[in-house]
Chain A
Amino acid sequence: MEDDKIVQLYLERDENAIKCSSDKYGTKLRAVSLAITSDAQTSEECENDTYLQAWNSIPPNEPRTYLYAFLARIIRHISIDRCRERSSLKRDAFIEELTSEMEMCIPAAGNVTGNLEAKELGEAINGFLHTISAEKRVMFVRRYYFLDSISAISKRCAVSESKVKSVLFRTRNDLRKYLIKEGYAL
């Protein structure tokens, strides 16, 4: 079923919306969650919570043309929160690693508790991502949005792991310079 029709079911408060969402995107969404939580059971819980949150947020939202991205954003958020809440998942080191990588993009690192808000930074990153090639953008988004491993990105993009590391390394440096240029030095 097309996204537009699934969203229409949500808007009409038809519970088939959840089944259709699950049929169409369930596997992908669980994969997103699994990459973050590294736990199959938790990823299933996150998937169910995602549909519930989607049910509660459509309306007012109407993601007719971007339903997958809408659901992916929800499950990513839920999965990261779940990792933070449950130390038993042992994903602290992974989240910390990615956070540290992100931190290095920020001018005046170590002082990110300043005035910069997540939304403001996110919009700046969004602007930066529009300036780089698709390949670099995909690798960056896979790493810091989907929290993919280097190995997974390597397979998806058909390049070596070393190239993925190189591209991410350089893209982080470029992002840092972009943020300085755009006046985001804290």
Chain B
Amino acid sequence: MKKENLLDSMEYIDVEMIDEAENYEMKAKKYNWLKYLGAVACLGICVVAVITISSKIKISNIPMMSDIASNQKETNPGVEGITEQQGETISGAGEIIEKPVEIVPGINNTVEMPYDGNSDAGLDIKMLIGHYDADLNAGDIAVNNGSCELSNSLKAAINELGSDVNYRVIVEVFQDGTVIDSGSAEVLAEEVRVTELGYTVAHERYTDRTETLDYFTIHATAEQILGFEVNEIYGYYLSLYDEYLGIAEPMEGYVFVTANENYVSDEDYPDEFQKIYEALGNALAVGDLPFVTDVVVCENPLRIEIDVDTTDEAMLEKLKAYDPTGEYFVVNTQ
């Protein structure tokens, strides 16, 4: 078969799938705003839920938060069994909340679990959630300049959980009703602006051999979300992280880029680093390094943090061969 005929292969899918795709039309549900407003009035007295934290939330890898994380260790020396990855520190507007994340016995803490609505109440902890009620669809996604819209799932999460948790949120920036590429200079400038307002901002970039996707994310309190300060020339659509990405599990070949006020475009990375980065991504995409569980690009200094689930010397050597200078890889055995 020739490359040109690849699209022809789709002719062989089941007719049911064609009908399904033809008849699929999801109407945006309107969330009950009265209920929502009631919840806003009651912020602070909502039930606290037990939610595990995704392995993708790499607090230790977010430069602007690393110092805070260090402080947390100092101020909570008695907390045992809490790793940097499991711990959580949120920088709110004008305040820093430092509390460990509750580890739920019997649940794999490397996988984010959706809130089931039946969890224990009364836990005096602050947690970061990125997933809530996946059945709710996006809602109204036509955002005008100067306004900020929340997805239905995010509204529902805030309604249920209020200010007792923090939220991992994807921010989409619109101008004149059209979404702006999150990798653009305009959005990066917005990330800087929002950072200066006191939000915790992380810029994520996922890439494979075909394309690159950028995400402007924030870790925010309910108050920060509800009072999101807009730039009048843009519109904003806020949705929960895993609602937006569709699935919670990390993907092979994806690279996570953190952002802070020192963020620089990857085009500014040294050529040598670019080649290593690309070679590693290709190797992961084709499954050459199955023992690699996570890859994070960090800046200041520029490096690639790699989590592996093996201590086998031969495998580690195979991985390190992708960084011939030995300058960029930081390999973490779990």
Contact = CB atoms under 8 A, between A and B. Distances in A.
A125 B6 CA distance: 11
Contacts of A117: 1
A183 to B, nearest CB: 13
B244 A162 contact: yes
A95 B246 contact: no
A177 B287 contact: yes
B114 to A, nearest CB: 14
Given A103-B6, A122-B11, A170 B17 contact: no
Contacts of A157: 24, 26, 137
A121 B14 contact: no
B251 interface: yes
Contacts of A101: 210
A77 B11 contact: yes
Contacts of B12: 118-119, 121-123, 125-126
Given A125-B13, A141-B21, 18 more contacts: A99-B7, A101-B210, A112-B1, A118-B11, A118-B12, A122-B11, A144-B10, A145-B17, A159-B141, A160-B172, A160-B179, A160-B239, A160-B244, A162-B244, A169-B206, A169-B210, A169-B213, A170-B251
20 contacts: A66-B16, A69-B15, A73-B11, A77-B8, A98-B7, A99-B7, A102-B6, A106-B6, A112-B2, A112-B6, A121-B12, A125-B13, A137-B21, A141-B18, A141-B20, A160-B172, A160-B237, A163-B245, A170-B245, A176-B285
* Nearest 10 Cβ contacts at the A-B interface: A122-B12, A69-B15, A141-B21, A122-B9, A66-B15, A69-B18, A121-B9, A104-B210, A102-B6, A138-B24
